[in-house]
Amino acid sequence: MNKIKKFRIIKYKAKAKPALKIKNVSKSFDGVPVLQNLNLDIYPGSINGLLGENGSGKTTLFNVILGALKADEGEIFAKGSTLISAMPIHERCKKFRISYVPQKTSLFLGLSCIDNIKGVAQLMMKDSRKIDEICDRLLTEFSLLDVAKTKANDLSGGQRKKLSICRALINDPEIILLDEIFAALSPKIIDTIKNIIVNLQTSRKSLSILISDHIYQHILDLSDTVHILSDGEIIKSQKPADIVKDSSARKAYFGEI
């Protein structure tokens, strides 16, 4: 196995209360269990990697956290002890500032970069001056100023991914979910996105990040804690250097690496 790269540039310190707590959550489709009695704690300021085989339930878990899917059983808490399981998606995302970047693009492909950001911002706020400030700041932060007026359909894969992350940051989230964020990207662009994620943690120190991917090295490079999802459960949560040595994690996911 390759040595774990050191993309991490600050040390995360665990806080007493998790930003997001998932307790005994289960979800089935047509009688087939996907999530089974799943437990997961995400702490403020941490980068968390979620690893699992294709079809293991990573995207289902994200949708249950968001409220796009309702869990059959279990509870979800935000900010330590506030129960959000029964809240609709718009309420939990607004009140607890949860953002999501899906694997498949949700960009408005016929609109420009800046209009993609403005269109979402206008749903959240009415102050046009503030909207313009947010657009300028995000386009600058993500090096998209030179393509601000380019339609999303004409952007490169890396530029689209950066724009998707931009839109997820409009509401200054406390929790951001990145689903298969490195899918279909070149190695050079993957490194760019990794550095963006680390910079998010540095510049937004209370932001909690949960990233899924099926290529474990990307997750090991970035994460404070890696969570292994297998048979609908989180079977192990450990630091990257420790989890690759764990016998249960190797049996369920890594194999002989």
pLDDT in tens, 86-119: 899 988 888 889 999 998 888 999 999 999 999 9
Determine, yes or no, domain membership for 218.
yes
The whole-angstrom distance between residue 135's C-alpha and the CA centroid of its chain comes to 21
Residue 62 CB coordination number (10 Å): 22
Please check whether residues 3 and 78 belong to one and the same domain. yes
Please check whether residues 156 and 186 belong to one and the same domain. no
| Statement: residue 15 has pLDDT above 70 | no
As for how many domains the chain has, the answer is 2
Determine, yes or no, domain membership for 18.
yes
Residues 152 and 108 sit within 8 Å (Cβ to Cβ): yes
Q: Which helix (H) or strand (E) holds 64?
A: helix 58-66
Q: Which of 158, 193, 197 is nearest to 176 (CA)?
A: 197
Residue 32 CB coordination number (10 Å): 6
Please check whether residues 124 and 161 belong to one and the same domain. yes
* pLDDT score at 102: 92
Determine, yes or no, domain membership for 44.
yes
Please check whether residues 80 and 142 belong to one and the same domain. no
Q: Mean pLDDT in the chain?
A: 90
Q: Which two tokens stand for residue 73?
A: 């059983």
Determine, yes or no, domain membership for 67.
yes
Please check whether residues 167 and 182 belong to one and the same domain. no
Determine, yes or no, domain membership for 256.
no
Please check whether residues 134 and 211 belong to one and the same domain. no
Surface-to-core class of residue 65, CB atoms within 10 Å of its CB (0-12 exposed, 13-18 middle, 19+ buried): buried
Domain carrying residue 45: 1-97+173-248
Q: Which two tokens stand for residue 236?
A: 């192990």
Please check whether residues 143 and 205 belong to one and the same domain. no
Please check whether residues 48 and 163 belong to one and the same domain. no
Domain boundary among 123, 150, 171: 171
> Alpha-carbon distance 204 to 62, whole Å?
21
Q: Which two tokens stand for residue 134?
A: 């947010």
